[in-house]
Amino acid sequence: MSQSLTELFTQQFNAQADHLIRAPGRVNLIGEHTDYNDGFVLPCAIDFATHVAIGKNGSDTVRVFAADYDERDEFSIHGDIVHSDKQWANYIRGVIWAFAERNGFRLPEGVDIAVSGNVPQGAGLSSSAALEVGVGKALQTTFSLPIDETEIALLGQFAENRFVGCNCGIMDQLTSARGEEGHAILIDCRELTAQTVSIPDSLSIMIIHSHVKRGLVGSEYNTRREQCETAAKHFGVKALRDVTLAQFDAGKAGLDVLATKRGRYIVQENQRTLDATDAMKRNDIAALSKLMAESHIGMRDEFEITHPAVDTLVELVGEVIGERGGVRMTGGGFGGCIVALVPHEEVDNVKAHVAKHYHARTGLTEEVFVCKPRQGVSVIK
């Protein structure tokens, strides 16, 4: 695919690309919605990725070709960068805008950019973060800018928050930027530090797409975030990261019912993420299994971001793996994927069990991916 993207670049722009970048999607093993509460997350970058080919063009125009849509976007490097009516184009415009707004870097000349990706969209596997990080790395490489992978992630988040309009946390961009081959990473979303964590050798990472059509994702996401902020304010702390479960229960009187449910889930999920990291380090799969199960129940009953079909998928996988692996919904929620850590020898049994019952119970058809943890963003050429 990377080969043909540089060929498409040449066809579109009649020039050779200077650089080719690969930025992966991610799957989160545990720690959902904790990132914007300054907490902990445990994701890994995955095989699916977005490729970005880039070259300076000597003009004062940015020209972009989205190979997957066979569409183009074009805008001037002078004046304000405004929104496009094409959603995909706004991620790229947004990153170029973020470089100027956040870092004071305005393009000194135009660039040509071609993008293509295979991260499933709307699946909760961060196709948009992969695009943002890919474009950020492409600009950093092209103009030899003195910024690191963490800043590239922050620029992607800035674009998403302020240009695209989703108030996401830092997990997706930071994982795409700083993922480690063969490992999960425990990210401290306040300090922006990442520790590599080995996934037990006996387990495969299975991602199963529920194919639930996601609706209202943006607005529900932003509402959850506001509820968490209300809870943090109630406790007089910067973020829910700063509250323990004991403090939460002792001080929750006066907090409204929804903010209590949401906040209590976050406080617990944060601790579960640290506990799951320890369990992985000890190779204690039964403990990991329990923590992932509790995480799913919390998302279902307290944070209320799952969907009945997604719950069914989690139950079906659980029926096969029991305590020998873990399973939960992954990503922002309201549909999308589940993630399961499955003993290698059970992968086919999980596939067969889900194939037999998921469609029958929900009318939907699953899609299964078995992934390996991959390196974060890289310059291929």
Residue among 361, 358, 367, 284 nearest 317 (CA): 358
Stretch that binds ligand GLA, among 29-37, 136-144, 248-256, 268-276 (CB under 6 A): 29-37
* Min CB(189)–ligand GLA separation in Å: 9
User: Is residue 171 at the binding interface for ligand GLA, with CB under 6 A as the rule?
Assistant: yes
Q: Please, which residue, 9 or 303, has the CB nearer to ligand GLA?
A: 303
User: Is residue 298 at the binding interface for ligand GLA, with CB under 6 A as the rule?
Assistant: no
Q: For residue 354, list its beta bridge partners.
A: none
Specify the length of the chain in residues.
381
CB-based contact 262:303 (threshold 8 Å): yes
Contact code string over 174-203 relative to ligand GLA, x by CB under 6 A: ------------------------------
Binding residue for ligand GLA, selected from 8, 25, 30, 32, defined by CB under 6 A? 32
Q: In the sheet that 183-188 helps form, which strands lie side by side, from edge to edge?
A: 40-41, 183-188, 193-198
Q: Please, which residue, 43 or 110, has the CB nearer to ligand GLA?
A: 43
Binding residue for ligand GLA, selected from 134, 136, 298, 332, defined by CB under 6 A? 332
What's the token pair of residue 23? Answer: 């930025």
Residue among 271, 305, 326 nearest 37 (CA): 271
Binding residue for ligand GLA, selected from 73, 112, 172, 180, defined by CB under 6 A? 172
Q: Please, which residue, 8 or 291, has the CB nearer to ligand GLA?
A: 291
Stretch that binds ligand GLA, among 76-84, 163-171, 202-210, 253-261 (CB under 6 A): 163-171
Q: Please, which residue, 171 or 255, has the CB nearer to ligand GLA?
A: 171
**Longest alpha-carbon distance in the chain:** 66
Q: Please, which residue, 151 or 346, has the CB nearer to ligand GLA?
A: 151
In three-state form (DSSP H/G/I as H, E/B as E, the rest C), the secondary structure along the chain is CHHHHHHHHHHHHCCCCCEEEEEEEEEECCCCCCHHHCCEECEEEEEEEEEEEEEECCCCEEEEEECCCCEEEEEECCCCCCCCCCHHHHHHHHHHHHHHHHHCCCCCCCEEEEEEECCCCCCCCCHHHHHHHHHHHHHHHHCCCCCCHHHHHHHHHHHHHHHHCCCCCCHHHHHHHHCCCCEEEEEECCCCEEEEEECCCCEEEEEEECCCCCCCHHHHHHHHHHHHHHHHHHCCCCCHHHCCHHHHHHHCCCCCHHHHHHHHHHHHHHHHHHHHHHHHHHCCHHHHHHHHHHHHHHHHHCCCCCCHHHHHHHHHHHHHHHHHCEEEECCCCCCCEEEEEEEHHHHHHHHHHHHHHHHHHHCCCCEEEEECCECCCEECC
* Min CB(4)–ligand GLA separation in Å: 29
Binding residue for ligand GLA, selected from 331, 335, 336, 376, defined by CB under 6 A? 331
Binding residue for ligand GLA, selected from 94, 134, 136, 169, defined by CB under 6 A? 169
Catalytic: which of 73, 172, 242, 278? 172
Stretch that binds ligand GLA, among 16-24, 145-153, 165-173, 190-198 (CB under 6 A): 165-173
* Min CB(345)–ligand GLA separation in Å: 30
Stretch that binds ligand GLA, among 168-176, 199-207, 228-236, 307-315 (CB under 6 A): 168-176
Binding residue for ligand GLA, selected from 33, 51, 262, 264, defined by CB under 6 A? 33
Q: Please, which residue, 171 or 285, has the CB nearer to ligand GLA?
A: 171
Instruction: Kindly state the number of chain residues that form the binding site for ligand GLA, as judged by CB under 6 A.
Output: 11
* Min CB(113)–ligand GLA separation in Å: 23
Is 70 tagged catalytic?
A: no
* Min CB(333)–ligand GLA separation in Å: 7
User: Is residue 240 at the binding interface for ligand GLA, with CB under 6 A as the rule?
Assistant: no
Residue numbers annotated as active site: 172
Please report, as ranges, the residues that interact with ligand GLA according to CB under 6 A.
28, 32-33, 35-36, 168-169, 171-172, 331-332
